[in-house]
């Protein structure tokens, strides 16, 4: 759970790529949006930027405005292969303003959230 100010929220993503945010206090749905992500593996939040990052085992990342759910950007897959699409081992961590992504196959790369279409830096 996370969120700006007193608006604490929980974000989950369905297998169809539709993330939904609900109020942690009331359980009321705050927003639902659509992404092109296939089976999101998890959610990471940047409270300073008020952005929610969703990611897949294949190395796709999507950024959403945490307040309204507005899609900000999405990347193409970055993994060499995604042989274990159901495996929940992909991760996105925030480090020094960058996103550090690990795919289900263990392929790490970094991503600048301000320039997501730039070349990834392999790990």
Identify which has the larger pLDDT, 34 or 80.
34
Query: Residues 6 or more apart from 113 whose CB is under 8 A from it?
Result: 46, 49, 51, 53, 63, 97, 98, 99
Residue 84 pLDDT level (bands cut at 50, 70, 90): low
Mean pLDDT of 34-40: 80
Mean pLDDT of 52-60: 85
- Model pLDDT, residue 122: 56
- Model pLDDT, residue 1: 46
- Tens digit of pLDDT for each residue in 90-101? 778 888 888 888
Whether the pTM exceeds 0.95: the reply is: no
Return the CATH fold of 40-122.
Thrombin, subunit H (2.40.10)
Residue 110 pLDDT level (bands cut at 50, 70, 90): confident
Residues 24 and 12 sit within 8 Å (Cβ to Cβ):
no
Compute the distance between CA of residue 13 and CA of residue 20 in angstroms, rounded to an integer. 6
Is residue 33 over pLDDT 80?
yes
Identify which has the larger pLDDT, 55 or 70.
70
Domain-wise residue ranges, the chain: 40-122
């Amino acid at each position: 759970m996370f969120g700006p100010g007193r608006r604490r929220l929980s974000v989950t993503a369905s297998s169809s790529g539709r993330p939904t945010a609900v109020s942690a206090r009331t359980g009321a749905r705050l927003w639902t949006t659509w992404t092109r992500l296939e089976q999101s593996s998890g959610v990471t939040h940047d409270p300073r930027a008020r952005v929610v990052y969703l990611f897949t085992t294949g190395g796709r990342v999507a950024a959403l405005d945490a307040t309204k759910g507005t899609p900000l950007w999405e990347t193409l897959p970055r993994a060499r292969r995604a042989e274990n699409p159901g495996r929940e081992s992909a991760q996105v961590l925030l480090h020094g303003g960058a996103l550090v992504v690990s795919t289900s196959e263990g392929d790490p790369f970094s991503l600048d959230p301000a320039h997501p279409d730039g070349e990834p830096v392999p790990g």
